[in-house]
Amino acid sequence: MDEQPDPARPTLGVAMVGYAFMGAAHSQGWRTAHRFFDLPARPEMSVVCGRTGSATRAAADRLGWAGWSTDWRTVLDREDVQVVDICTPGDTHAEIALAALAAGKHVLCEKPLANTVAEAEAMTAAAEAAQERGVLSSVGFSYRRTPALAQARRLVADGRVGTVRHIRAQYLQDWIVDPEFPLVWRLRKEKAGSGALGDIGAHIVDLSQFLTGQRLTEVAGHLARFVERRPLAESTSGLSARGGAETGEVTVDDAAVFLGRTDGDALATYEATRFATGRKNAMRIEVNGSAGSVAFDFEAMNELHVYDATTPAADAGFRRVLVTEPDHPYAGAWWPPGHGLGYEHTFVHEIADFVRDVATGTPPTPSFADGLQVQRVLDAVERSSASGATWTPV
């Protein structure tokens, strides 16, 4: 039986641009959020946009969208669309977001916000002007919505770790270790903006600032590329003049390591790589303070490790906290304690928060300004690497 709308609850029509990996994750969020969270508005999956008609139509059927279009511009005039969700590669974020905000549509944009600081600045200025008209926006740093990380933020904000001294963050993957892996769009600077730095490094930069409430003020870093050329993902001939697979140049970093200093005098270390053989999605972060520490690894995403330095030495040690209790952030909407959540739930939480904010007129977080701050950090790391890993202001 089809779900019947609640006449007392307004609907929020959504147009999503892009339907690949992130599009599928966002679709899960739009389909599910109102079924587990008591929201003041009900999302309606009105239309999904893509480049190719047959593929976009198939995506609409598979992901649960009512309609489809091959031109995202046409949906900006539709009265049944109030939100535009941007799930495309970074080279199109600015154009779509600026047009959507100008058309009076609320915008949720995947991270990183843009491919350049200039684009991110233009998007942030437009978002702040639109907010004056009641049009809201947010950038999709979904890991903030992991219950264990939201709980870690609570503990730090409540002073449980004391004065923050160290931030230690890693994001380790291995999906391009094989040099024969093809030259997909994420390995092309004109599409992705940067490699591991922007794709996964952006997450740990945002999380370190979110958890501590402190901003990076300067960085010193180095970017590395381990494989210079890869087989083309789409080749007309399939073979090069030498008889092997036709290849193209990798134009982004494969790995990034950098140091940072914050406006709270904390020292931070970061590592983002897609060449950590054996590590699939090891997104790790630890905050050390004068009164305690918190530590997290996404490959055990329902756990938070907490150290209380005020405990007598004979009883001290990191405690494993299973973050599935009703009082933990987001967890109470789901299953009984001990029944863990997964990657897809972070997007459900992101959508739930966004819908609630839009329906109540509350400026969402993270904002485009938060996304711009991360973009400035990424840019500073690139400039530092180009200058020989010198300290570079953000």
How much is the pLDDT for 3?
Answer: 57
CA dihedral (65, 66, 72, 75) positive or negative:
negative
pLDDT confidence tier of residue 8, bands split at 50, 70 and 90? confident
Single residue among 128, 143, 158 that ends a domain in this structure: 143
Separation CA 6–CA 181 (nearest Å): 49
Single residue among 115, 143, 171 that ends a domain in this structure: 143
Q: In what order do the strands lie in the sheet with 216-224?
A: 319-322, 303-308, 292-297, 282-289, 164-172, 267-273, 255-262, 216-224, 392-393
Closest alpha carbon to 124 in 157, 101, 147, 156: 101
Q: Is residue 215 located within the same domain as residue 247?
A: yes
Q: Is residue 244 located within the same domain as residue 139?
A: no
354 occurs within a structural domain: no
pLDDT confidence tier of residue 284, bands split at 50, 70 and 90? very high
Structure tokens at 111: 């991270």
Query: Residue range 202-223: average pLDDT?
Result: 98
Percent share of the chain, pLDDT over 70: 95
352 occurs within a structural domain: no
Q: Is residue 153 located within the same domain as residue 170?
A: yes
321 occurs within a structural domain: yes
361 occurs within a structural domain: no
Q: Is residue 226 located within the same domain as residue 266?
A: yes
Single residue among 143, 160, 189 that ends a domain in this structure: 143
pLDDT confidence tier of residue 240, bands split at 50, 70 and 90? very low
Task: Write the DSSP assignment of 171-230 as a string of letters.
Answer: EE--TT-STTS-B-GGG-HHHHSSSHIIIIIHHHHHHHHHHHS--EEEEEEEEE-S--EE
- Interstrand relation of 292-297 and 282-289 (parallel, antiparallel or unpaired): antiparallel
pLDDT surpassing 60 at residue 127: yes
Query: Residue range 231-253: average pLDDT?
Result: 71
pLDDT confidence tier of residue 245, bands split at 50, 70 and 90? confident
Q: Is residue 225 located within the same domain as residue 123?
A: no
Q: Is residue 334 located within the same domain as residue 186?
A: yes
Query: Residue range 100-109: average pLDDT?
Result: 98
How much is the pLDDT for 234?
Answer: 67
362 occurs within a structural domain: no
Question: What number of CA atoms fall less than 13 Å from residue 230's CA on the CB side?
Answer: 23
Q: What does R_g of the chain's alpha carbons equal in angstroms?
A: 22
Query: Residue range 99-118: average pLDDT?
Result: 98
Q: Is residue 388 located within the same domain as residue 325?
A: yes
43 occurs within a structural domain: yes
Condensed to tens digits (0 to 9), the pLDDT of residues 42-85 reads 999 999 999 999 999 999 999 999 999 999 999 999 999 999 99
Separation CA 330–CA 148 (nearest Å): 10
The four Cα atoms 245, 247, 250, 254 give a dihedral, to 10 degrees, of 10
Separation CA 150–CA 167 (nearest Å): 16
Q: What share of the chain is helix, strand, coil (3-state, %, to 5)?
A: 35, 25, 40
The residue segments making up the domain with residue 306 are 146-341+368-393
Question: How many folded domains does the chain comprise?
Answer: 2
Separation CA 114–CA 120 (nearest Å): 5
SS3 for 345?
helix
Q: Is residue 26 located within the same domain as residue 79?
A: yes
Q: Is residue 130 located within the same domain as residue 170?
A: no
Residues in the chain: 394
Q: Is residue 92 located within the same domain as residue 239?
A: no
Query: Residue range 93-99: average pLDDT?
Result: 98
Closest alpha carbon to 115 in 58, 195, 28, 220: 195
355 occurs within a structural domain: no
CATH number of the structural domain spanning residue 214: 3.30.360.10
How much is the pLDDT for 47?
Answer: 98
Condensed to tens digits (0 to 9), the pLDDT of residues 143-152 reads 999 999 999 9
Q: Is residue 286 located within the same domain as residue 333?
A: yes
CA dihedral (112, 116, 120, 126) positive or negative:
negative
Closest alpha carbon to 373 in 180, 139, 25, 64: 139
How much is the pLDDT for 195?
Answer: 97
353 occurs within a structural domain: no
pTM: 0.94
